[in-house]
Chains A and B, each alone.
Chain A
Amino acid sequence: MSALLSVENLSKIYDVRDGAVTALEDVSFEVLKGEFLCVVGPSGCGKTTLLRCISGLLAPSGGVARLNGKVVTEPAESVGVVFQDYRGSLYPWMTVGDNVALPLKARRLSREAIRSRVSEALTSVGLVDVSSRRPYQLSGGMQQRVAIARAVAYRPAIMLMDEPFASVDAQTRIGLEDLIKDMCQNLAITVLFVTHDIDEAVYLGDRVVVLSASPTSVRQVVDVNLPRPRDQLRTKGLPEFTRIREVVYRLVRGQFDTDEAQNAQRS
């Protein structure tokens, strides 16, 4: 498989009042076409900054992100983004349908095409008959599904998700994990999924990129060879799941050096 997105020596330094803060030191990894790649790291390691640089919302201080070989300098048409805070990213003055339709209108699609894409996308996230409701009339989990539908309707080559389930309760989170897992498999969407939740990363990902604490670089990329279709109970009960989770956990907590982790992964 070829790399759809490659991140090459990306760094980001913020200028602050007295000096500079290095948010990302040197981050490199690739996202292959069709894969579900998770990125985890200790809190405060610059995950959101990384995603913003990749999506073209923020200019990196050094290095590049390439999408299909092309350097990302501004938000690309082939990228759909799902943010952590659905309250800020869905507009309460628009109906759910209009929220999903707005990016398509900006693309100047025909009215008919927009209508069918919106209803298709909402159906694919399991929301029907909410098109004319307002975001605030829905539960948190449903609002995040609307945000996902907006990304899906955009028909992106890659979907970037920034801790999308961090603001919903645990039960809802499980439902959303399975929804996104099945949906991306069915629609063959490539996903770069940033999370701080190790279980979530291992459960969803084909591979997990583990970031170090700030100043951030890639500690290790862990392969997740768990069979698909995955299931919350069965997959999480597999010894292999427990093993990979431990590897990732130790890497995140900085309890492993990289050689040890590689040995652990091989055994």
Chain B
Amino acid sequence: MKLSNLLDRPKLVIRSLELAAPAVLVTWWWFASQNSGSPFFPPLSEILSDFRQYWLGERLLSDLLPSLKRMLGGFLLASLLGSTVGLLLGLSASLRHILDPLVTFLRSIPAAALIPMAIVALGLGDTMKISVVAFVCVWPVLLNAMDAVDDRDPEMVATSCAYRIGRIRAFWHITLPGAAPRISSGMRTSLSLAIAVTLISEMVASTNGVGAFTIRAQRQFDSAAMWSAIILLGLLGYVLNLAYSALERLVLRWHFESKEVA
């Protein structure tokens, strides 16, 4: 096949470049670092062998699993809380006005500033970490849920009133599903926040978890182990995002299908 023919099929070209780009990068890294004597940039071969030893072996249950538990625990708690409170605030304009300064203040607090306070209040355990993750992750979900209800189609509301759907039924059958796409994009933002905040909380106050592992490796000048954790986190973010997208497409099929039609 001639190159010009190949370029006529942009989808195929983009697909292959999509796969080629990381492959090129990894190959370059492999050869560039092959004979590296730098303590900070060990050969990729060493990093990958550490990766296999730790993350496909001993550290899977002792560190990765606790991190996942904290991350997903905080994320799910935030999603539940954020969507509930957000929907209620969306439904009541006066409540929204009353709580607006408070919400703006609370969501402006950086996660790192919260951790010392959380340690004092909740100790060093998982409760503290899950709470901090949830506190940070709750805002994107809450604000999206609130705005989604606030901006909903007036005709949609008029229809539910005209047909006397009733408050509770309208909440479950109209308000919630109508806000679901926006809530879901808020949750997507929160998912990446959850990874970051879990890491920080583990670096500050933990004996296990990927964050604790990373900071320990750094203190012991074990850069290969540290790099292996960094790669793990990148992969974890990638896989979680992919899984989230698949789930979103399944649950909100109507949303994606109706967008395609429009």
Contact = CB atoms under 8 A, between A and B. Distances in A.
A136 B258 contact: yes
B166 interface: yes
Contacts of B261: 136-137
A136 B177 contact: no
A75 B159 CA distance: 10
Interface stretch (A26-34, A83-91, A183-191, A194-202): A83-91
Contact of A83 (B158, B164, B180, B257): B158
Contacts of A105: 169
A55 interface: yes
Contacts of B156: 88-89, 91
Contacts of A52: 158
Contact of A103 (B153, B164, B257, B262): B164
Nearest to A52: B158
Interface in B120-160: 153-156, 158-159
B46 to A, nearest CB: 52
Interface in A66-124: 75, 77, 79-81, 83-85, 87-89, 91-94, 102-103, 105-107
A154 interface: yes
Nearest to B166: A106
Contacts of B161: 57, 75
Contacts of A85: 153, 155
B165 A92 contact: no
Interface in B169-221: 169, 173-174, 177-178, 180
A47 to B, nearest CB: 15
A74 to B, nearest CB: 8
A173 interface: no
A79 B162 contact: yes
Given A89-B156, A134-B257, A57 B162 contact: yes
Contact-residue bracket for chain A? 20 to 34
A41 B153 CA distance: 25
Nearest to B176: A93
B255 interface: yes
Interface in B238-260: 254-255, 257-258
Nearest to B158: A57
A45 B10 CA distance: 52
Contacts of A93: 177-178, 180, 254-255
B105 interface: no
B258 A92 contact: yes
A103 B163 contact: yes
Contact of A106 (B163, B180, B257, B262): B163
B169 to A, nearest CB: 6
Given A134-B254, A136-B257, A102 B162 contact: no
Interface of A: 52, 55-57, 75, 77, 79-81, 83-85, 87-89, 91-94, 102-103, 105-107, 134, 136-137, 150, 154
Given A89-B156, A103-B164, A136-B257, 14 more contacts: A55-B162, A57-B158, A81-B159, A81-B162, A87-B153, A87-B155, A91-B173, A91-B178, A93-B180, A105-B169, A106-B164, A106-B166, A136-B261, A137-B257
Q: Pick the 7 closest A-B CB pairs, nearest first.
A: A88-B155, A103-B163, A88-B153, A136-B258, A81-B162, A93-B177, A89-B159
Interface of B: 153-156, 158-159, 161-166, 169, 173-174, 177-178, 180, 254-255, 257-258, 261-262
13 contacts: A75-B161, A77-B164, A79-B162, A81-B163, A87-B153, A88-B154, A89-B158, A91-B178, A92-B255, A93-B255, A106-B164, A106-B165, A134-B257
